[in-house]
Structure 1
């Protein structure tokens, strides 16, 4: 019942939208994409999303796609409760405002221990070196949630070349499933560094969760 009440507080829509609006590259084309279909075996954690489909947009001039992401299927009640932030050792977090039905950011103070850990994790000397999170409210084909762009990269990942990460969670309309994912959002294609942020955000607008098995079978 608790899960049902939480879901009832979230207004759902049927068409895609990103808030605030984003600027796409001049060369962006909705015809340049790879159709991605995820099954049970694709999730690190699975609570019953079933088949999830989305279009992975990419630059029209490059037949290359965003870097691989890690996919999860979680309970909406946990997504709403946890939000995004505290586990990242950052002095701000993302939470769901039940009154407005949207995801918002707010700052909070790290403890002395949390501050030390943040400095160690990110390899910085002061919290002032951290960059603000970018938050987007996402409405997809049959789900709604958030996407966060985080430029604060842990030192160990930074050494591997990671510069920016995207994390998201979309809650399926009228169900107990939340489709989530995270991963690097900058990749080197043909010797050139490409920021896939606008492509991935537009991809999230196309997410469909809980499709029947027959939807994944190509039609002649």
Structure 2
């Protein structure tokens, strides 16, 4: 039972990060090898926020999510759109994007190293036990679990109940048909890519609450 509960607590956060990756690859059809750097950037940003203000890391989501969204939107517009326009087929696009984002990951790693250094970082937040079925678990893990569930549910409802969300789902199924019904496929793909990066960064915020990074 202990292993199951630990798996559930971690699984919710991993599911959130998987949703971000799915938005980028499933909708925008971009294999983004720099997605992990967004996760670490979210964790680093939360560390800086918490140590500077001693406020709850959940407040860091207010800044991390919009910033990550803007950065990923710019990446798509500047780096990915030219590759999409010149690609003759999906296979060529995937190869080009893998190479481009692989190089981008090194750039982002260099920036993070220059800003935060190469040391392992962690901070203590809600570092006390809470008992579930008689066994102690970190309260910070439970808080991250709840935060992940809320974000996953919010993203699910947005994708299924709003026009922009339904447009993204249409593009993921058939981009050509989506374009025929007046959906701007390029803009929808940029939105999916940016939203995916923002969701991944949010996962980094939550993971930083109980993991060393």
Q: TM-score, normalised by structure 2?
A: 0.26
Structure with bigger strand share is: 1
Q: Looking at both structures, which has the greater relative contact order when contacts are Cα pairs under 8 Å and sequence separation is at least 6?
A: 2
Hey, which of these two has a bigger chunk of helix by percent?
Answer: 2
Give the alignment's TM-score, normalised by structure 1: 0.26
